[in-house]
Amino acid sequence: MPFDGFVADGWSDVADALANNIDNRDDVGAGVSVFHKGKCVVDIAGGFFDKEATKPYTLDTLQLVFSSTKGVVATAVAMCVQRGLLSYEDPVSQIWPEFAAHGKENVTVAQLLSHQAGLYTVDGPLTFEEVLDWNTMVTRLANTAPLFPVGSTHGYHAFTFGWLAGHLVRLVDGRSIGRFIREEIANPMGGEIYVGLPEHLEHRVSPVNTGWPRETVTQQVLPPEGNSVSETVRSFTLNGALNVKGAFNRADMHAAEVPGANGITNARSLAAMYSATFTETETPNGPVRLLNDETRKKMTVQQTKTGVIDVCLQNKRAFAMGFVVPSEKLAFDAPGSYGHAGAGGSVSFADPNRNMSFSFVMNRMSSGLFTDPRAVRLVVAASRCADACASQ
């Protein structure tokens, strides 16, 4: 299997873990990056761009990362909070007056970002084409009544999170969420994070796939983990609008702004972003820090009640201001960590207590969401290396 990239001394365990994932055919093509104390110590890619093995998966490959995009959007919102454009305590309707419809006038930004607004889908039928239209989606969401009493519980807003949070950024900053991410996060750091992919980059995007042919394959990309199948399906398919074969390998999906799930990027860009949320980080453009300690502390305060079962995920996931924080069944569970995972297995997060950030992206979809064993093996290896560095 071909490999591409860089590994600093003391971090070879991470490269070995990725190599094992690929050699064992758990991965087709994948990338992993780790920053430690603001410096890149791992940036590697390996395997193949597609399951036909027509070309290698390299550091130049771009990858759709599904809900790992949410962590980027949450960072964008935090940057707006830091600039005084809004606060987590604000009522959403203060920023977005139309949102007040159907008794939502008191929903706070914090409740919206932590999946407590009861808006994990929209009222009525929806088409795939409508999902790709920003104005349609934010209008439909503003006109939707909460599906449970606001603040009474939480239900994962698998796709709607992106429009809800992204529209706040648009309203207070004036730029679309895709443009804000590009101009305020990716470009300053010399990285690539696209929510709304330019057409000329489409050829670099590795298609997501179900893996190498096997004798028996039982794959569910977005499986319910409990009995509330209807709510899980409604959240993850938007009432069936996304039940379109190959939807996330389509160029029109890549070009649209669906910021809950269609970010296209690479491991280094995400790891660098998370590093810059807690420390000054070396980038091709010089040192960058995106957030100060005060903002970071605000955005990582857990908003959902510990032990409460998520209406849509049917597990006890814990949410802060758009970020997932340590809870049961999580690839990253160190105290103080925050980040997000994506359908199929991708995961990116910050672990400030270890001075480490991490990102894993891949093209082979598995059934793991937040718990993918490939990611777990890589996280364990990276954490072990960081701990060894600290003890030296």
pLDDT digits (tens, 9 = 90+) for 46-99: 999 999 999 999 999 999 999 999 999 999 999 999 999 999 999 999 999 999
DSSP letters spanning 18-29:
HHHHHHTTS-SE
Tell me which of 52-66, 136-150, 196-210, 233-247 is least confident: 233-247
Inter-residue contact 168 to 90 (CB < 8 Å): no
- Cite the beta strand spans of 136-284 per DSSP E: 193-194, 205-206, 264-265
Instruction: Give the mean pLDDT of 226-245.
Output: 81
**Angle (deg, nearest 10), helices 267-276 and 69-82:** 30
Residues in the chain: 392
Ordered alpha helix ranges (H), 174-331:
177-180, 229-237, 251-255, 267-276, 293-299
Query: What distances in angstroms separate CA 15 from CA 7, 9, 161, 225, 361, one per listed residue?
Result: 7, 11, 33, 31, 14
Amino acid at 86: L
Inter-residue contact 119 to 145 (CB < 8 Å): no
Query: What distances in angstroms separate CA 262 from CA 5, 115, 171, one per listed residue?
Result: 25, 18, 21
According to the model, what pLDDT value does residue 214 have?
55
Q: Report all structural domains of the chain as residue ranges with CATH numbers, in order of start.
A: 3-212+219-391 (3.40.710.10)
- CA within 13 Å, CB half, 124: 11
Q: Give percent above pLDDT 90 in the chain.
A: 87
According to the model, what pLDDT value does residue 176 have?
98
Instruction: Give the mean pLDDT of 292-312.
Output: 96
Instruction: Give the mean pLDDT of 168-195.
Output: 98
Nearest to 364 by CA among 218, 222, 209, 245: 209
Tell me which of 197-201, 206-210, 219-223, 373-377 is least confident: 219-223
Instruction: Give the mean pLDDT of 143-166.
Output: 96
For residue 217, pLDDT over 60 is answered with no
Q: In what order do the strands lie in the sheet with 62-64?
A: 193-194, 264-265, 62-64, 205-206
For residue 216, pLDDT over 50 is answered with no
Inter-residue contact 374 to 360 (CB < 8 Å): yes
According to the model, what pLDDT value does residue 146 have?
97
On the 0-12 / 13-18 / 19+ scale of CB atoms within 10 A, 100 is: middle
For residue 219, pLDDT over 70 is answered with no
According to the model, what pLDDT value does residue 1 have?
66
According to the model, what pLDDT value does residue 223 have?
41
Q: Would you call 5 helix, strand, or coil by DSSP?
A: strand
Instruction: Give the mean pLDDT of 110-123.
Output: 97
How would you classify the pairing of strands 193-194 and 205-206? unpaired
Nearest to 279 by CA among 271, 294, 289: 289
User: What rounded mean pLDDT belongs to the chain?
Assistant: 93
According to the model, what pLDDT value does residue 115 have?
98
Q: Would you call 143 helix, strand, or coil by DSSP?
A: coil
How would you classify the pairing of strands 62-64 and 264-265? antiparallel
Q: Choose between 221 and 384: higher pLDDT.
A: 384
For residue 329, pLDDT over 90 is answered with no
For residue 319, pLDDT over 50 is answered with yes
According to the model, what pLDDT value does residue 206 have?
98
